Amino acid sequence: MTELKRNIFQNNRHCDNIIPLSKNRTDADSKRLIEKPGSTSFPPLQKEVLFILVLFFVILALHLSPLGQYRESILTFCERISGYGTLAPFLFTVSVAVLVTIGIPRLLLCTIGGMLFGLFQGLLYSVAGTIIACFIVFSLVRGVGRNYIVTRYPKLDRFAKLVERGGIPAVILARQIPIHGMVINLMLGLSPVKRRDFLIGTAIGLLPQAIPFTLIGKGVKQESIETSFAYIVAAVVILAVLWFWLKMWTEKKKACRN
């Protein structure tokens, strides 16, 4: 295994802390979580809420404290990136793919995308880069990393085998689990889920978190603190709406299966 692959897998050492959480979960419980997502409580939003709170205080500091000088640096940086013209989206997308592959949080990159390109383009480029990164890890696990992962995290393999029958809905729900996205990629790479289901489920599953955080990124660039906070409020509302919609969707899937 090359040094790059080792770095990717070693970046997920916190799997040791995540996998033992399922010691008391039976295979039947895990099966219900994947095949009938709505049969368990829907993943909470602690991670997203915490990140939004952090961004709230960052924006507050940029507008009301001496740290405001850094806001000008941020705006200058955005203008410099825009100076690359049509090459800027390509460079950003590739950068996102590389950074997410090595474990940088994608929500941070979505926020940066919103700052650089606005809501729609920032969302498109950041999600595209994230999908590429997820598929790279997924393919590495499928191709050459399976034995390494199974040996290191045997419980992850047992859980991953339950994903196949869940298809696209299982992948979408997996993307909402409040653990590092790289761990989800490892699990899905070990699973028999089809590549098509992985790509479609990942693209849909990324949106509920990516949309509000890209919107917050756009809000960071606003001149007035009131406008910036308006973007944060809008982001919170969108996050809540998408979260409840996804929850209802999984419950509907459960009802159809019963």
Domain spans of the chain?
3-257
Greater model confidence, 97 or 166: 97
- Which whole number is the average pLDDT over 7-23? 45
Greater model confidence, 235 or 171: 171
pLDDT of residue 131: 97
- pLDDT of 141 > 70? The answer is yes
Tokens found for residue 139: 């393919």
For residue 24, the one-letter residue type is N
Query: Predicted confidence band at 1 (pLDDT cuts at 50, 70, 90)?
Result: very low
- pLDDT of 237 > 70? The answer is yes
- pLDDT of 208 > 80? The answer is yes
b/e per residue 22-53 (b: at least 16 CB within 10 A): beeeeeeebbbbbbbbbbbebbebebbeebbe
* pLDDT tens by residue, 45-57: 556 666 677 667 6
* Cβ pair 166, 130 in contact under 8 A: no
* Cα 126 from Cα 89, distance rounded (Å): 9
Nearest CA-CA partner of 47 in 156, 138, 183, 139 = 183
What's the pTM?
0.70
What's the CA dihedral at 177, 181, 186, 188 to 10 degrees?
A: 50
- pLDDT of 31 > 70? The answer is no
Tokens found for residue 250: 């999984």
- Which whole number is the average pLDDT over 154-173? 72
